[in-house]
Structure 1
Amino acid sequence: MNLVKESSSSTDLDDLVASNDMGGRKATGLQLKITLIVAFVWALFQLWIASPFPYVLDTDLLRWNSNQARSIHLSFAIFLVFLNFPFGRHSSLHKIPVADWILAIVASLCASYYLIEYENIATRVGAPILQDVIVACIGIPLLFEAARRSLGITLPLIAATFLAYNFFGNHMPEMIAHKGFSIYEVVNHQWITTEGVFGLALGVATDFVFLFVLFGCLLDKAGAGNYFIQLAFSCLGHFKGGPAKAAVVASGLTGLISGSSIANVVTTGTFTIPMMKKVGFSAEKAGAVEVASSVNGQIMPPVMGAAAFLMVEYVGISYLEVIKHAFLPALISYIGLVYIVHLEALKENMQGLPRKGAKVSLVRKLSSFLFGFLSLCVICAIVYYGLGWIKTLAGNNSIYLVTVLVLGSYVGLLKIGSKYPKLCSAEDHDLSNLPEPREIFRSGMYYLLPVFVLVWCLMVERLSPGLSAFWAALLTIFMILTKPLLDGVFRKEKGASLWTGATDLFDGMVTGSRNMASISIATATAGIIVGVVSQTSVGSALADVVEALSFGNITLMLILVAVLCMILGMGLPTTANYIVVSSLMAGVIVEVGASNGLVVPLIAVHLFVFYFGLMADVTPPVGLASFAAAAISGGKPIGTGIVAFKYALRTAILPFLFIFNPDLLLIDVTVVQGIFIFVIATLAMLIFTAATQGYFLVKSKWWETAALLLIAFSIFRPGFWIDKVVEPHQYMPMSEFLKQDKVIKQGEALRLHVSDDGYSGKVENTIHLLIVREPGPFKQVLENAGLNLYIKGSRVEVDSVGIGSDAYQAGFEAFQMITGLEVATEQPSKAFVYIPSLFLLGFVFFTQRRRRDKAS
């Protein structure tokens, strides 16, 4: 059975992914060899600097600091972009013009200027010379051209606009004007220091992102992507609308190792979309399900399209905290999408795919799941305590013993997998009878080992993300090299050799580098925008504009920011998308919110702008993922995008909810509270999904839809109704509070009212949020947070703020006045909202069930 018969040819789809992620040029001969060798050397360089080996060797020859590594990284990236991405749609795809070779070499030399002149630049900090200006004036336009070729016109146009604002800000309207900067000042900031092109974003791409992109490509080359797809289908394919549910799960799993929503669409969509159409989904709906689930993969930890590593730097919290905060909303969003698919299947009375063997009872399914879960817990406990015992026994030599155990586990799992039929490619698999999940799972358990190593290094060993990805990639490299030979030996097949594995490894390394080239260019180009924001007052200016347009209304301000994020994110890859929207819009929410009484954790703000930036991948008319899905399904691209946007509404509602209810981000909650929040939030998401789909048990009447929306809102944000009865906080002047000499409890949120002279000369009143880490008297608590105070009577003034402290992250500055604070009041339990909501839900449920029973 040819599952992709009705869709575009495989070649066309491969070209679509290649032109978007790796460049559409297909050079041959010597030109191709040079391109592949450069890409392979770049991957080796990144593995080397991420490994502990440079610090083991007693030499500086192959050791570079972070700033030098960024220069080398950008040199490789811009060189590959000019070779792989043609000038325009009418340019030759089969040979690289001389002009592109010249541009590649010149651009690479300009990018490496920071490395070549590193010692000299260090001696003239803040005083660029004419040579610096010439190199920057050549390098920045070439960077823009590389961005245009690999990313489209949007990002370089935005960056060029901001760069022009840097020069001509003194001629702008008063609200957004600044003093203007000379070319020497701009060059120093953007090209010579680490504030612009070679700034934080490019540093994160160099240190972390490349390793995760490479790891994903290597794991996919090893066959993990195909394994995840077939495992999802074997588990879910037999349910109503099963192929669509499997597509959602498969896209979520591949999203763990993929940094591109378009590549995700094509990787899983060539298999899942025809299967969805087979069970009754229209072309547009089948494509929309794939688009929504693939774009959702970009919000799913641990990679989040590389945005997770940038959040670590921008928000100032650890990587594990970012993952913890981002996990629950992403999981709830996926559960909501599965439910959407279920409702679509109920509407059309769709059936699932047939499964081999006899039907298994629910009791047996539950017992099998429980046994599997308990077995997994036992294995995890054995591994955890076993490795702890090994480290105690072997000391510094434990790394060698652990390596032997990991490789032994890989060989053992591969031997188990060899007892089952090989997994053919997803497109060629005949799923007219679904295989047993147990059979598929056991045939590829070894694919889970690198993921386990990655998670173990991150969560248990607490290694850096870059070093964790290095060890996981190293294991994957070993798997790719040895799998063809070992699998052939275990299956007793002749002709197996290491050469097949070596070829696959070379292809995986090259693919990883070529995928990364456009991401690196995106981070470097977006760094110019970040540089302009840090050099000028554009952040405060944007906040003033948004506050004026929203009239100080918090909800209207958030809607306006959401729309702006979707506009700014159009046509941008995930990494650049996040850099742009966080640089421009995160500060707007913080400043405007603080001045109007909304104080939320910074991670909630960054996730808000990130989610809406990604909505541009779904939203017509620019949603590229929708065009890729339509190419497979044969549907209309705009129609696919509209349906996908409708499905994505469940994701769009989440950012508003965790802005007003940060508990959804698991901030300062216990395990029991976390479980309760998950259950309640999931229930609310399912109800909201049923309301937006207009279908619960049967087609909903208008009042039932309204009731479901009310129930979902009440469960998601019960505080809205409680606050109407009892105010959550009561303002207390500082003079009155100091008289109480109160001891502040650990974990308490202090909402401090601050007054300061603003840029306009007027006194501005804002609210800053501080979470108390250690209990104690008020003054001691503030000092522990990094605030050195001057207190005279009832007057409390900020004398100084510790750099990097909690107070610094909260936005405190020297010479601000702390005028008062808001004291939490005793409020009724949330059960007073939950219980009536559940009663109303029960009424809607029984009403629809009675109507369904009459119809049947």
Structure 2
Amino acid sequence: MSDTEIQEIDDGLELARKMAEEEEGIGRKPLGFEKWVIPFIAVTWSLFQLSIASWLILDSTYIRSIHLGFALLIVFLNFPFFRKKKFGLRFLSATKRIPVFDYIIAIVACLSALYIVLDFEGITTRYGAPIQRDIVIGILLTILLLEAARRVIGPALPIIAIFFCAYAFLGPHMPDVLAFKGVSLNRFVGQMTMSTEGIYGIPLDVSATIVFLFVLFGAMLDKAGAGHYFIQLALSLLGGFKGGPAKAAIMGSGLTGMVSGSSIANIVTTGTFTIPMMKKVGYPATKAAAVEVAASTDGQLAPPIMGAAAFIIAEYVNVPYVEVIKAAAIPAFASYAALFYIVHIEASKLGLRGMPRNELPVFFKTFLSGIHFMIPIALLLYELVVVRHSPELAAFRAIGLMVLVMILQEPVKAYIAKKPIGPAIKKSIVDIFAAFASGARNMVSVALATAAAGIIVGVVSLGLGGLITEIIDVVSMGNIYLMLVITAFASLIIGMGLPTTATYIVMASLTAPAIVTIAGAQDWFVPLMSAHLFCFYFGILADDTPPVGLAAYAAAAIAKSPPIATGLQGFMYDIRTAILPFMFIFNSDLILHEITSWSQAILIFAMACIGNFAFASATQGWFVARNRIWEIPLFLSVTICAMRPDAIASLVGLPHDQRYYVYPVALVIFGILYLLQRPRIPKGEGRTAREAFEGVNHS
């Protein structure tokens, strides 16, 4: 590899890391004593969150207010007003220092968020009749919150929030179909900043009590080196199979995504290793990057963590968190199984093999080298799924065990290597506090997204909910299928500029009740869980949707591939995920609604995988050989039979409780397609990784 190629790879990695740092919440890098200001606040925030999860008992409103206060303080100190110098005003884009201007704004914003705590008794007694001070501080908080969201998330969410706020006041002047009685300034401020129905609503509560702990746990795993361990473990298991590095990327990204909740951070953690390896065995740069995008994006679908939105779903649907895990399990794992299938197809089309075993890590040695990372994760799963403790308690105990692991990890390594123990203990302590700071910084965007989205939720709850359902009904002409398509496209478009959590909150607030209502009017029963998961899925898919999908840009930077082409290819891989929400909206078996039998659940999962495999073959143009045009409808029929047996049973007159008799039809058609394509399987299609790398024996 030439020096130029090495330099290009390093430049790509640096660009991807910068994108990850921006998402993590690293904006300014001040010099001198100021470099400790933001980490000190971040560590203090983490210690506060750990305190309320253990010994510190506070009212829920206090917790939300302090949580938001910390986030606003960090944002205004950490992110300049402009990313680049404009209008000749250097202090508005300073990155090496924190201007006095931002210190003042940060303190004012923090105190505005804390106002509900500072005058809690007074505010509770005059709710609905705010005094002038309440109105001034309420408006100030709303403006500063939207400005903070603009700095860290971008302009999309503030613009949408401003639009809703304007609609709340201008409703009486809108055309008849959009007309709304409007609200007074007193009622608006009371709703948004003096109650728990606006900024301090359920999303911010979930961010403050649950999500922070899981993000902190993920940051500690990352700082301890678990991300590298996961990818090495995946390579040791799967690297030698056909298209092995791509399969390892999927497994590694799935393991990392369970605790990460960030597509870009996932790509930087795993893609740094897997994308060059995929290119080495023969994957084109665009496809190598697209595989990493699809795998990292879907990491947020994987139970038990599923990013921040999963906990908000539990609150909105009013079910235990384990019910969300249960509902999300089959679609998520079927989606991942289909992605394994797709990369296998791609390897077959390209005539690739895996990496030579002598170039891969040894499995048992690799597994044992990081088995200590599995212990806190196992404890977390045990607490969540087996004994069913609250997510807060489960995460707190897992963090406690992770602290112990991090304290012991470096000294044990030093002892084995016969090095001094003292410096190793010091490094362990530094790593723990660095993880605390990183976890808090990661939380800034989540806290601001949930608080700013709370403005939209608050406006909707002021009386717009019924009107929005009516408008959606008119736009979709009362057709549930058209409404779902509109909702999916709206989620993709809105999600291009928003974090997945904010996209879910906005779309769920606007459309989830409408989906259930309009479906009910057409004699379809759609569980509320299905409607919320529908919004959640398409919010996540926006991460790799061109032209804005940031995950595609990060992967393209590492692979040195065109970002738009990478996004398009990633979206083509993710189409198999996009059909799942449409399926479980109408077939609630896929989210295990009212299904308690393990055997029935396993059957549904197996057939969901078959259906997704068939759909992947139809869209990728390959099964065991290249498809012929007339075979595509047969693959799609397998998908329908496997995922919507209820619809087929209804068509042929079978009662609903006999719908599973349709499954053998799907298997028979799939088997026939295999027999038809088997004679066309390319002979001698494979080549070794070494041959691919050296560019010889191309088929």
The TM-score range, normalised by the shorter chain, is: over 0.9
Corresponding residue number in structure 2 for 1:467: 393
Q: Distance in 1 between matches of 2:568 and 2:277?
A: 21
Give 1 or 2: higher helix fraction: 2
Q: 1:28 aligns with which of 22, 27, 31?
A: 31
1:153 deviation in Å?
Answer: 0.4
Maintained 8 Å contact 2:191/2:458: yes
Q: Distance in 2 between matches of 1:106 and 1:657?
A: 49
Corresponding residue number in structure 1 for 2:58: 64
Q: 1:212 aligns with which of 211, 214, 219?
A: 214
1:279 and 2:281 are equivalent in the alignment? yes
1:4 deviation in Å?
Answer: 6.6
Corresponding residue number in structure 1 for 2:334: 332
Identity %: 47
Maintained 8 Å contact 1:8/1:634: no
Give the partner amino acid of 1:234: S
Cα deviation digits, residues 814-849 of structure 1 (max 9, x gap) = xxxxxxxxxxxx458335533333332222211111
Corresponding residue number in structure 2 for 1:660: 586
Cα deviation digits, residues 529-575 of structure 1 (max 9, x gap) = 010111122x3223222222322222222111111121222221122
Corresponding residue number in structure 2 for 1:245: 247
Q: 1:81 aligns with which of 75, 79, 98?
A: 75
Give the partner amino acid of 2:675: F
Q: 1:518 aligns with which of 445, 457, 460?
A: 445
Q: 1:840 aligns with which of 660, 669, 674?
A: 669
Q: How does 1:782-821 map to 2 (within 5 A)?
A: none
1:675 deviation in Å?
Answer: 1.1
Q: Distance in 2 between matches of 1:592 and 1:103?
A: 46
DSSP-derived class of the 2:27 partner? coil
With normalisation by structure 2, the TM-score equals 0.93
Maintained 8 Å contact 2:42/2:441: yes
Give 1 or 2: higher strand fraction: 1
1:586 and 2:589 are equivalent in the alignment? no
Q: 2:628 aligns with which of 677, 682, 701?
A: 701
Corresponding residue number in structure 2 for 1:735: none
Corresponding residue number in structure 2 for 1:687: 614
Q: How does 1:124-523 map to 2 (within 5 A)?
A: 124-356=126-358, 433-495=359-421, 496-523=423-450
Aligned Cα root-mean-square deviation (Å): 1.7
Q: Distance in 1 between matches of 2:339 and 2:228?
A: 22
Maintained 8 Å contact 1:259/1:574: no
Give the partner amino acid of 1:649: I
1:851 deviation in Å?
Answer: 2.3
Cα deviation digits, residues 630-659 of structure 1 (max 9, x gap) = 111111110000001100000000001111
1:677 and 2:671 are equivalent in the alignment? no
Give the partner amino acid of 1:683: I
1:852 and 2:693 are equivalent in the alignment? no
DSSP-derived class of the 1:27 partner? coil
Mean CA deviation greater in 705-714 or 639-648: 705-714
With over 3 angstroms needed to count, the CA separation of the structure-2 counterparts of 1:671 and 1:123, relative to structure 1, is same
1:139 deviation in Å?
Answer: 1.1
Corresponding residue number in structure 2 for 1:120: 122
1:125 deviation in Å?
Answer: 2.4
Q: Distance in 2 between matches of 1:643 and 1:13?
A: 19
Give the partner amino acid of 2:99: P
With over 3 angstroms needed to count, the CA separation of the structure-2 counterparts of 1:855 and 1:831, relative to structure 1, is farther
DSSP-derived class of the 2:603 partner? helix
1:263 deviation in Å?
Answer: 1.0
DSSP-derived class of the 1:197 partner? coil
Q: Distance in 2 between matches of 1:127 and 1:828?
A: 56
Q: Distance in 2 between matches of 1:49 and 1:832?
A: 52
Q: Distance in 1 between matches of 2:559 and 2:682?
A: 36
1:92 deviation in Å?
Answer: 2.1
1:6 deviation in Å?
Answer: 4.4
Maintained 8 Å contact 1:221/1:504: yes
Corresponding residue number in structure 2 for 1:60: none
Q: Distance in 2 between matches of 1:119 and 1:828?
A: 57
With over 3 angstroms needed to count, the CA separation of the structure-2 counterparts of 1:5 and 1:253, relative to structure 1, is farther
Q: Distance in 1 between matches of 2:190 and 2:467?
A: 23
With over 3 angstroms needed to count, the CA separation of the structure-2 counterparts of 1:454 and 1:206, relative to structure 1, is same
Maintained 8 Å contact 1:262/1:625: yes
1:135 deviation in Å?
Answer: 0.3
Maintained 8 Å contact 1:484/1:498: yes
Q: Distance in 2 between matches of 1:44 and 1:622?
A: 36
Maintained 8 Å contact 1:15/1:24: no
Maintained 8 Å contact 2:345/2:622: yes
With over 3 angstroms needed to count, the CA separation of the structure-2 counterparts of 1:442 and 1:581, relative to structure 1, is same
Maintained 8 Å contact 2:480/2:515: no
With over 3 angstroms needed to count, the CA separation of the structure-2 counterparts of 1:459 and 1:840, relative to structure 1, is closer
DSSP-derived class of the 1:304 partner? coil
Maintained 8 Å contact 1:8/1:631: no
With over 3 angstroms needed to count, the CA separation of the structure-2 counterparts of 1:471 and 1:827, relative to structure 1, is closer
**Residues matched between the structures, number:** 672
With over 3 angstroms needed to count, the CA separation of the structure-2 counterparts of 1:102 and 1:677, relative to structure 1, is same
With over 3 angstroms needed to count, the CA separation of the structure-2 counterparts of 1:194 and 1:683, relative to structure 1, is same
Q: 1:629 aligns with which of 555, 559, 562?
A: 555
Give the partner amino acid of 2:293: V
Q: Distance in 1 between matches of 2:568 and 2:632?
A: 21
Cα deviation digits, residues 743-782 of structure 1 (max 9, x gap) = xxxxxxxxxxxxxxxxxxxxxxxxxxxxxxxxxxxxxxxx
Runs of 5+ consecutive residues of structure 1 not aligned to the other structure:
55-62, 357-432, 729-825
Cα deviation digits, residues 290-317 of structure 1 (max 9, x gap) = 1111110111111111111101110011
Give the partner amino acid of 2:225: G
Maintained 8 Å contact 2:232/2:361: no
Corresponding residue number in structure 2 for 1:16: 19
Maintained 8 Å contact 1:485/1:498: yes
Q: Distance in 1 between matches of 2:669 and 2:385?
A: 42
Corresponding residue number in structure 1 for 2:43: 40
Cα deviation digits, residues 214-241 of structure 1 (max 9, x gap) = 0100111111111101000110111111
1:556 and 2:482 are equivalent in the alignment? yes
1:691 deviation in Å?
Answer: 1.2
With over 3 angstroms needed to count, the CA separation of the structure-2 counterparts of 1:114 and 1:692, relative to structure 1, is same
Quick one: higher RCO (CA 8 Å, sep 6+), 1 or 2?
A: 2
Corresponding residue number in structure 2 for 1:576: 502
Q: Distance in 2 between matches of 1:103 and 1:449?
A: 43
Q: Distance in 2 between matches of 1:560 and 1:13?
A: 33
DSSP-derived class of the 1:7 partner? helix
Q: Distance in 1 between matches of 2:102 and 2:218?
A: 30
With over 3 angstroms needed to count, the CA separation of the structure-2 counterparts of 1:840 and 1:212, relative to structure 1, is same
Maintained 8 Å contact 2:203/2:450: yes
Corresponding residue number in structure 2 for 1:757: none
Q: Distance in 2 between matches of 1:325 and 1:20?
A: 29
Mean CA deviation greater in 225-234 or 82-91: 82-91
Q: 1:722 aligns with which of 637, 641, 649?
A: 649
Q: Distance in 1 between matches of 2:77 and 2:684?
A: 64
With normalisation by structure 1, the TM-score equals 0.77
1:492 deviation in Å?
Answer: 2.7
With over 3 angstroms needed to count, the CA separation of the structure-2 counterparts of 1:235 and 1:4, relative to structure 1, is farther
Q: Distance in 1 between matches of 2:6 and 2:30?
A: 28
Maintained 8 Å contact 2:472/2:514: yes
